[in-house]
Structure formats: structure tokens, C-alpha cells
Chains A and B, each alone.
Chain A
Amino acid sequence: MTEATTTDVPEQQKTRLQMALHKPGFLVGATIIVFSTLLAIMPGVFAPYDPNVIDYVAVRQPPSWAHPFGTDMLGRDTLSRVIHAYTVNMQMAILATVFALIIGVTVGALVGYYRGVADMIFGRVVDAIITFPFLVLVIAVVAVLGPGLINMYIAITMVGWVYYARLMRAEVIAQMGNDYASAGIVMGYSDCRIIFRHLLPNAITPVVVYWMTDMALAILLGSSLGYLGLGAQPPQAEWGVLIAEGRSFITTSWWLSLMPGIAIVITGLGFSLLGDGLADLLRPRG
């Protein structure tokens, strides 16, 4: 992504990118996310052991040089299980947000452009959905559909699109005030062309910045649901599930629960630093 932007950006943005690259937060965030993605794509290369090999001789061993994160109640290497969980947890960042993004951007652009009755109904729907605590509504939907990863994605999408749509609507309305939008209408362009070719590219920036933050939230939310038993199901290695598995041994083998959390914190931090950096990079100055 970085490569594509460096080659063909205008001069002004290029300096902005250079400025962003000098910010330590942005660099740290980008490094974390690149490394996490590598871990997610090929966990086998980085994990020291097979995550599923059971070793009854080495049950619940504390962290050591051989097992930096210790071993679990079946003698499996915790570090290897945490690394293999990157695949599903990084997948959450995408799958729990991307459909909400697409639906939200489309609905937001349409109601922002046409206004009228649809916009009024949309306003009420937003009010109603934000009246529910996010987690409560998501787990209520998961409760009805049944626990599991796919249903979790469906539930998060059903609630999450509202936030994208609200943002997109406000941005489209703001863009409509510009001359280029009126020019498009005067030229007799079709609504579809004005919305998707002209308004959308100009209005999308804040949505993309929010998307980054939302990916961090999706990882926190996904692992929380895993911990509560409503997301990924054991024996799948997922950070929240791993932490829940260690919960019963918290007084004697603290590493079982605490070590997988480090991965959540680092990845979450990576996404939010990257989001803050992108916000600086993309936000119009002036």
C-alpha cells in the first residue's frame, strides 16, 4: 500500500507522507501491522512448535527459554498457539469491518444525497441502534443466531454499518455544498455518476480513518466474544479463547491467560497508531 502511494502522489501529499514517516507513532504502528500480517499469513514459519502437539510430560510449565510463554494444561506450547491465532484474529480485523464499511458507505452516500423521507427514517434508525450498548446488541444477535465466528461477523456487521453510514452521510452532505457537485448536476450527469464518481472519492477520507480505528476495535471485540464463549469456539486457537482456557488456572498458572493478551495489546496498539498516523496524513490542512 505504501509503495503504491509513493509512486503517484502529487507533490504536496508526498511531503505529507514524508512527514508521517518521520512520526515515530506511525512508523511503529505500520511495523506492527506488517509484522502481524506476516504472522497471520504464515504462522508455521514463526512458531517454534506445532500448536496442537500434546505433551503430558510438560504440562503447565512456567515461561522458560524453551517455552517463552510457558505450556498449557495439555503441554502445548503457548507461544506457538498465540502465533497460530494471528490467522483468525487478523482475519477479524477485516471480516468484522469490511461489510459494515461497504453497506455503511453505500447507505450513507444515498441518504446523504437524496435526503427526504429515507433520510428521516435513517436518522431514527441510527438513534435507535445507538441506544443499545454496542456489545449488548451484538451478543443479543449472536445469542439468536448461535455462537461461532461467522455469526459473530454477521452480528457485528448488522450493528456496525450504522457508524459508517452516519459518518458518510455527514461527509456527503458537506461535499454537496461544493461547486463541483452543483456543476455535476447542471451538466446533467446521472445521480449514480455524481454520487460514486464525484462525491464518494471526496467524502471517503474520514471513513477510511475510522475504518482503521474500527479494525482495532474489531480485534478487541472479537477476542472479548471469544473469551465470553460467543465467538471462535475451542479448540480453535484464538486469543480470547486461549485466555478463557487459562482462566481456571489463574491462581497457579497465570501465564496461560496473561501471555495471549500481550498479542491483543500489541496488535490493537498497532492499528490505533496506524489510524492516528493515517488521520494526520489524509486530513486536509488549513
Chain B
Amino acid sequence: MAGLQYVLKRLLMMIPTFLLVMIIIFLLVRLLPGDPAIAIAGDKASDADLAAIRDRLGLNEPLLTQFWLFLTNTLQGDLGQSIMMRTSVLEVILQRLPTTLFLAIFAVSLSLLIAGPLAFVAALNRGRWPDTLIRSVFQVGLSMPVFYIGLLLLTFLAAQLRLFPVGGRGEGFFGQLHYLFLPSMTVALYTSAIIMRNLRAALIEVLDAEYVQFARAKGLPVRLILGRHVLRNAMISTVTLLGLSIGNLMSGTLVTETVFAVPGLGRLMLEAIFARDYPLIQGLTLTFAVLVSVVFLLTDLFQSMLDPRMRLT
């Protein structure tokens, strides 16, 4: 069972990474100048409150004990209390998580819909005007910050033409689809530029490969060659790339949520920063890291399914 062995090895490899992630998040709040308890509870906190926080974080203990406390608390799902929300950090995050996930999945779907066909057109017309045009437009797209793309869409499609709501989340599946279309499109326009570039290169590489040349020489119909040989092989690199861009995607949702006032994790992160809500900032940073590592894991597993050679490395 080489497959199972691979999965187990891959899961074991996550443990040291996770430990280091926890150390980074733990050290983050300890970078704060002065007493973390005051920073966490605010200047106006009573002495009793401060003592309670010091006790919970174990600030009077040695650093290693503190880290152990932090680690065991986190593993038990205890991320502390949010200062601004006055409830548990985990509860606040779980409440906002679905919106961000919806936005991210929507954005990925849109970027595949945009990048896929255009990459095909560009690769099949290599060096001719459709290729040049598509690549130039995406080059400009890559030079735009996500928040600016968002503002352009917001100004023209929402504020001027009133085709879409200017902000918020919407109720139910179709309500969310409607409200989150522009925010997702914003992220998708950026990520599709990255995907298009790589998919085009992958397609060209496959189109030049000997087995495709051979299939052509045999006189197989182009549609069959594209579907059976080219697409399947180009998909491996696209899935890998999608997985590796999850960090970019999450950074993008953070910004787009702010531009469109979408109540997701990214917007929450900024609210937490301006409220100096450190437990919430820590919890959110951890959540984003967990999301990314889960996607990395799924990418690796999917890749090993599509291409058994990967399991050997």
C-alpha cells in the first residue's frame, strides 16, 4: 500500500511544521513591548483582570511552560477570549468562517472559468495576436493591487450601473452568490492572471510533447487530443499551482472583504487589529495557517493520485 504509506508520511511531516507555526504565533504577542497582559486587556483593565490573564497565559511561569500551556490550550480548542466581542475566539471565528470559505471557493471557480478557456486560446494561437492580447491584458491585471481591482468593480458595476450590491453578505445560497459575486470576481481577476500564465506554459509544453505530435501524426481529431492528452496533463500543474496560490487567495480575500464590507475572517482580522484584540489576532492567524496547510495537504494527495511518480519523492 504505497498510497497509504505516502499519506501517513505526509501527515507526519506536518507535525514539525505545525509546531513551528505555533511557536511563531506564540512569539508574535511576546514581541509586544511591555506587559502582554496590559496589551491584551487594555489600559483600563482592573488589577484582578490583569492577574487573571497573567494566570491564564501563565506569564509568571518560565517561557517553555508558557508555550506548553498555549499549545495544549490551542489543541483543546481553547483560543482564549476575544476582547472586543466578549466571547470565545473560536466561536467568533467559526461564525465568520463559512462566508470566507464561500468567497474563496467562488473565487477559485471563477478564476478557472476565466483562465482555462483563455489559456487554451493563447496556447493554440501562440505568438499570434490573440495570444499577445490575452497576455498583455493579464500582465496589466497582475500589476493591479487587489483592493484597486475591487474599487474599480465597485465603482462601475455596483455604484454607477447598480448591477450588484455595494457590500454585505446576502442570505441563503443565491443571496450569497449575488452579494459575493463582485468580491469573488475581484480575487478571481488577480488569481486567474497567475493561473493563465502557467496553464498556457503547461499547455504549450504538452502540445510540443512527442506523444501529442504522434497523436496528431496518427490523424486523431484535435478535440480528442486536447481532451484526452493535453488537458489531463496540463491539469496536474494547474492543480499544484492552485494549491500553492492558496496563500495569495487568502491574502486576496482579506483585502476584498475589507473593500466590500463582507463580514468574513479577513475583515474580522482588520477589526481585531484596530481594536488591539490580540487573542483574536492570534486565533485568526492560526486559522489562516491551518486553512493553508490543509489545502497544501489536499494538493499533495490529489497530485499523487493524478501522477504516481510524485509519491516517490
Contacts and interface: CB of A to CB of B under 8 A. Distances in A.
B157 interface: no
Given A132-B21, A139-B273, A243-B151, A228 B285 contact: no
A78 B270 CA distance: 28
Interface residues of A, number: 45
Interface stretch (B48-56, B105-113, B137-145, B216-224): B137-145
Given A124-B17, A143-B281, A254-B155, A134 B251 contact: yes
Given A131-B296, A268-B143, A243 B148 contact: yes
Interface in A56-96: none
Nearest to A273: B139
B253 to A, nearest CB: 9
Interface in A3-39: none
B45 interface: no
Contacts of B23: 128
Given A229-B274, A268-B143, A261 B151 contact: yes
A35 B288 CA distance: 39
- The binding surface of chain A is classed by DSSP as helix
Nearest to B288: A136
A118 interface: no
Nearest to B149: A261
B148 A264 contact: yes
Interface string A111-131: 000000000000011011111
B155 A250 contact: yes
Interface stretch (A43-51, A219-227, A278-286): A219-227
Interface stretch (B1-9, B27-35, B67-75, B304-312): B27-35
Given A131-B293, A133-B248, A140-B28, A272 B151 contact: no
A145 B273 CA distance: 11
A40 B269 CA distance: 33
A223 B145 contact: yes
A258 interface: yes
B32 A272 contact: no
Contact of A145 (B31, B160, B288, B296): B31
Contacts of B251: 133-136
A216 interface: yes
> Which among B29, B147, B155, B289 has the highest number of chain A CB atoms within 10 Å?
B147
A102 interface: no
Contacts of A240: 145, 147
Contact of A261 (B21, B148, B248): B148
A224 B145 contact: yes
A264 B273 contact: no
A141 interface: yes
Contacts of B17: 124, 127-128, 131
A224 B257 CA distance: 13
Interface in B253-301: 254-255, 258, 269-270, 272-274, 276, 278, 281, 284-285, 288-289, 292-293, 296
A183 interface: no
B16 A247 contact: no
Nearest to A127: B17
A144 B155 contact: no
A208 interface: no
B145 A144 contact: no
A272 B139 contact: yes
Contact of A131 (B21, B143, B248, B255): B21
B146 interface: yes
A137 interface: yes
For B23, B152, B273, the residue with the greatest tally of chain A CB atoms inside 10 Å of its CB is B273
Given A128-B17, A136-B288, A229-B274, A264 B250 contact: no
Contacts of B159: 250-251, 254
Interface in A229-286: 229-230, 240, 243, 247, 250-251, 254, 257-258, 261, 264-266, 268-269, 272-273
Contacts of B248: 133-134
Nearest to B27: A144
A216 B143 contact: yes
A228 B148 CA distance: 12
Pairs A-B, 3 closest by C-beta atoms: A268-B143, A135-B251, A128-B20
Given A140-B28, A243-B148, A272-B142, 5 more contacts: A131-B289, A144-B29, A250-B159, A264-B143, A265-B144
19 contacts: A127-B16, A130-B247, A132-B285, A133-B249, A133-B288, A135-B250, A135-B251, A136-B289, A140-B28, A143-B281, A144-B28, A144-B29, A224-B146, A228-B255, A229-B270, A247-B151, A258-B152, A261-B144, A261-B152
